[in-house]
Amino acid sequence: MHGTRILEEADRLMTVCNSCRYCEGLCAVFPAMEMRRSFSDGDLNYLANLCHGCGACYTDCQFSPPHEFNVNVPKTLAIARAESYAAYAWPHVFSGVFARNGLAISMIAALSVAAFIFGFAAFNDRQVLFGIHTGPGAFYHLMPHNAMAALFGAALLYAIVALIMGVRAFWRDIGKPIDMLADPGSLWQAMKDAGQLRYLDGGGVGCVNEDERPSDLRRIYHHLTFYGFLLCFAATSVATLYHYMIAREAPYPWWDLPVVLGTLGGLGLLIGPAGLLAERWKRDPALVDQPRTGMDVAFILMLFMTSLTGMALLLWRDTPAMGPLLALHLGLVFSLFITMPYGKFVHGIYRYAALVRYAKERRQAGHTV
Ligand code: SF4
Ligand code: SF4
């Protein structure tokens, strides 16, 4: 007996697949499945988070619908994966945010943007809000640096704690002691697998779309999004070091490292999410967890809008539009931070943990990873 209907279905499919084993070369899910004869809830959540949703095992399967076995591994694991995000959410009282995630994230983003706009209007007079501010410290005419650092530092800290608590619950549920996470070889292998999106290649041909023609575009757009996000994070980190270590205040000239990193990252976060959105519409509806489309779309749009407002701020920071654009951008960044543990962002964290376990158990069993 499993905790949910979808885990019952995942157990049924993994039992069928374990007898068949036709797909064992496609990704990490099937070799991990073959190491087991029975599946606990934690095992199934582990396999669900190991799946990258490429769709190859659906098009290759001789038992997929209309066959009476009705084998649809990508969709079943996609639903199980999404349900696992809610099950591990910390604090658990917020797990309901996953139920209508698109609506919840949109409302939080709208409230956050509104709070920054009203905050800027309340704490600054019109000349400051719509004035032209240039040179070092220009942004801090609208919001003092210490207030900005305290607010965003607290939001980021909260997100990190909530994500760590979530992955801790996941790790315990898949039956492993927490010290198993501290295995440098497996951590490094998982980092390489995640960094290359090794298992999003459909066994070498790419992701399956509605026309059943595989394409690598989804992986490329995901890379642009992921590395764009990392570059933007690096830009913010360098700017923080500039501020506290060498007393150089933002905004910086276009050639300076935080701006170069931020611009490259921002471009990745425009092209990547736009491409992912386009690819999503092309996917075979049979493969995806349709009712949770809102969760995917909300997160992709949030990244896109954060980048768009950041780029607009860079272009128009020397004009009267700077104040409203700064409020818009900060509102979006703040909502991105506080919703990270309750939206699609968590897929990267749980998938990485699943890859660590996979690397570890393959090595323990004497296989090459
Ligand atoms: S998905 Fe289908 S073809 Fe692949 S292992 Fe399972 S039953 Fe076999
Ligand atoms: S959808 Fe792709 S990643 Fe997921 S189990 Fe099937 S082949 Fe593996």
Residue 181 has pLDDT above 80, yes or no: no
To test the pocket of ligand 2, the residue of 16, 30, 51 to mutate (highest count of ligand atoms within 8 Å of its CB) is: 51
> Terminus-to-terminus CA distance in the chain, angstroms?
31
Q: Residues near ligand 2 with C-beta < 6 Å?
A: 23, 26-27, 29, 51-57, 73-74, 77, 199
To test the pocket of ligand 2, the residue of 73, 207, 215 to mutate (highest count of ligand atoms within 8 Å of its CB) is: 73
CB 54 within 8 A of CB 208: yes
pLDDT, one tens digit per residue, over 18-60 is 999 999 999 999 999 999 999 999 999 999 999 999 999 999 9
Closest-lying ligand 1 atom to the alpha carbon of residue 21: 5
- Nearest C-alpha neighbor of 238 from the set 213, 218, 261, 220: 261
CA-nearest residue for atom 2, ligand 2, is: 54
Average pLDDT over residues 181-208: 88
pLDDT, one tens digit per residue, over 249-281 is 999 999 999 999 999 999 999 999 999 999 998
pTM of the model: 0.93
Residue 364, pLDDT score: 86
CA-nearest residue for atom 6, ligand 2, is: 57
Closest-lying ligand 2 atom to the alpha carbon of residue 287: 1
Looking at the CA of 13, which ligand is closest?
A: 1
Residue 132, pLDDT score: 94
Looking at the CA of 287, which ligand is closest?
A: 2
> How many Å lie between the centroid of ligand 1 and the Cα of residue 362?
21
To test the pocket of ligand 1, the residue of 29, 60, 208 to mutate (highest count of ligand atoms within 8 Å of its CB) is: 60
Looking at the CA of 14, which ligand is closest?
A: 1
Q: Residues near ligand 1 with C-beta < 6 Å?
A: 16-17, 20-23, 57, 60-63, 71, 73
pLDDT, one tens digit per residue, over 76-122 is 999 999 999 999 999 999 999 998 999 999 999 999 999 999 999 99
Angstrom CA distances, 266 to 16, 271, 332, stand at: 45, 9, 14
Tally Cβ neighbours within 10 Å of residue 271: 17
CA-nearest residue for atom 2, ligand 1, is: 61
**Distance between CA 341 and CA 91 in Å, rounded?**
10
Closest-lying ligand 2 atom to the alpha carbon of residue 26: 7
Provide the β-strand partners of residue 60.
Answer: none
Angstrom CA distances, 360 to 97, 363, 366, stand at: 33, 5, 10
Tally Cβ neighbours within 10 Å of residue 294: 16
Q: What is the mean pLDDT of the chain?
A: 94
Residue 178 has pLDDT above 70, yes or no: no
